Structure 1
Amino acid sequence: MAELRHDLKFDASLAGDAGTLPADPVTPKDAATVILLRDTPDGPEVFLQRRVTAMAFAAGMTVFPGGGVDERDADASVRWAGPGPARWARWFDCPEPLARALVCAAVRETFEESGVLLAGTDSGVLTATDQYAEARKALVSRDLSLAAFLAREGLTLRADLLRPWANWVTPAAEPRRYDARFFVATLPEGQTADGATTEAESSGWQRPEDALADAEAGRSRLMPPTWITLTEMAEFAAAAEALATERTVRKIMPSLVREGDQVRVVLEEM
């Protein structure tokens, strides 16, 4: 592994058993995370959610929408527009079936957690999603798969609304681990993000620099991937700039090194 330097430190209380590696680390579960952006007169904003404290993973943390891949996300029957699974497989350096599942998981999780649906019809991208409220609940409960939902409603998954951004792996010391591929997307015109999910105690839009300021002041808690991604998003003057950025996605796993009452984050390229 090559170490990637990043000057980032946290209070040691956020690190748990940093530096204590289990003899047999848990295999990371594939996951998708979506950095949802919108433009405002004051610059781009990101959609963030503060997870409820009862969650088994990242409890109380402020995060982007996302979650684990469902095995049904790999269903090849999904009607698809935009870069195909083979292209996503090259971007994320993974098998094509997994790439398909990751894109589908990104669309599904974004809809489940924010109400934003990156899909469309023959006439264009959806501008409202209220009519799919019951389907959204069924997706959350896993009573309905994304493929079945899209087919039933005659919808097309819009992979062209997503761009690859990063690949973060949970440190080996953690009991729950994810191999999370990060996507970036902009809020489709006419749609709103409501954050109506039981996984979050609050949701909303913030400028990246304001979200970082909240974390630095102790008003919120960020995991290293979220902190670094917000730092990257703060560099853009418009959402389109982020989507137009050419990214070489490398698999990165943070390591936490205790330094007194703080923990330094070391980023390692796998």
Structure 2
Amino acid sequence: MNNDQREAAQAWVEFGARTPSKPRQASSVVLLKDSPAGLKTFLTYRPGGSPLGTVAFPGGTIDPADDDVTDWVGPSALAWAKSMGTVDSSLAKRHVVAAIRELFEETGVLLAGPDASSLVENISGADWMRARESIAAQESTFSALLERYGLALRTDLLKPLSHWMSPDFAHRRFDTRYFAAARPVNQEPSLLTSKGVWGRWASAAEILGDRATAALGDEIGVPATAGLALGELVVPGVEIILEKIAAARGCIAYLNHKRAINEYQPKLVTDTDEDFSLEVSTAPASEGGPCRER
């Protein structure tokens, strides 16, 4: 747990349990690629105490304009709802659109194409960066960009992973759907010019190998991360997904793995030394697993 979480947990305990704040709906994408060092994923630094974690996968909240996106190929909204374990097909559609939009905003990787068998290419230039900046600043919409270039979302390239709810005591709470996708050929992630601080492809096995050290926090090199270990930089959902990625036998195996989509919410635990930790229960055949984050 980071300092902000500890302060919120302390207030929750001292003043008694209250009604948790309403969580905002969010989506996050685990972008993957194979490498000699094992399966890699793209991680970024998120400033401002994001409920997704200080270090996290690309993602963010659902936007009302996500409803304007209508052109897509792949599973229907109803099929997505079923695969995500919900009966609300409209909400499932919003999560899928938000996932692809946030991935584009934050990394420039665009899971969209002119038809069901192709993807847009040559999107690393200045015009595309301006488009990303404009969408991120809500000066234009993702649907308008897709319409301008005649593109449809390739929702078939996403896989649902897991469903995580922020702890009750948190001041800012997300109800987050995690998805996974392989890096498209001829597309390479890059950070937003205006907001990018740190981001890179990271071997999940190597990140976990250094989890007890401050290697990652010191590498990012900002005051908010210096000296912090992995458990202080990421939320439990991210750490558990990293563990699953490290154990996978490559990108295809990970994406094709059959998994139940259960809802997980870290629970606050008070240790014998009166410190706090977050605990997530084990659940078979899913992205959940035993995790205790101090």
**TM-score of the two chains, using structure 1 as the length reference:** 0.87
Shift of 1:222: 1.7
The answer (yes or no) to whether the contact 1:12–1:258 under 8 Å persists in 2 is no
Say yes or no: does 1:206 pair with 2:202: yes
Q: When you count strand as a share of all residues, which structure comes out higher? A: 1
Q: Deviations over 1:216-258 (max 9, x none)?
A: 2133322111111101111112111111011110111101213
Letter in 2 for 1:235: A
Equivalent position SS for 1:43 = coil
Distance 2:4 2:90 in 1: 39
Equivalent position SS for 1:125 = coil
Distance 2:152 2:198 in 1: 30
Residue aligning to 1:127: 121
For residues 1-270 of structure 1, the aligned pairs below 5 Å read: 15-18=6-9, 20=12, 22-52=17-47, 55-58=48-51, 61-75=54-68, 77-92=69-84, 93-122=86-115, 124-131=118-125, 132-196=128-192, 198-219=194-215, 220=217, 221-259=233-271, 260=273, 263-267=276-280
Equivalent position SS for 1:15 = helix
Aligned residues: 257
Q: Deviations over 1:32-85 (max 9, x none)?
A: 010000111222100001223xx142597211000000011122x521111111
Distance change (3 Å), C-alpha of 1:69 and 1:174: same
Distance 1:101 1:11 in 2: 30
Distance change (3 Å), C-alpha of 1:263 and 1:23: closer
5+ residue gaps, structure 2, are 218-232, 284-294
Distance 1:59 1:150 in 2: 27
Q: Deviations over 1:81-120 (max 9, x none)?
A: 1111111111221411111111110010001111111111
Query: Which is bigger in relative contact order (C-alpha 8 A, separation at least 6)?
Result: 1
The answer (yes or no) to whether the contact 2:51–2:172 under 8 Å persists in 1 is no
Letter in 2 for 1:15: R
Equivalent position SS for 1:256 = strand
Distance 2:250 2:152 in 1: 27
**TM-score of the two chains, using structure 2 as the length reference:** 0.80
Shift of 1:200: 4.5
Distance change (3 Å), C-alpha of 1:218 and 1:256: farther
Q: Deviations over 1:184-230 (max 9, x none)?
A: 00100010011226554200011111222333213332211111110
Distance 1:267 1:59 in 2: 16
Distance 1:43 1:249 in 2: 25
5+ residue gaps, structure 1, are 1-9
Distance 1:207 1:263 in 2: 29
Q: Which moved more, 1:126-135 or 1:244-253?
A: 126-135
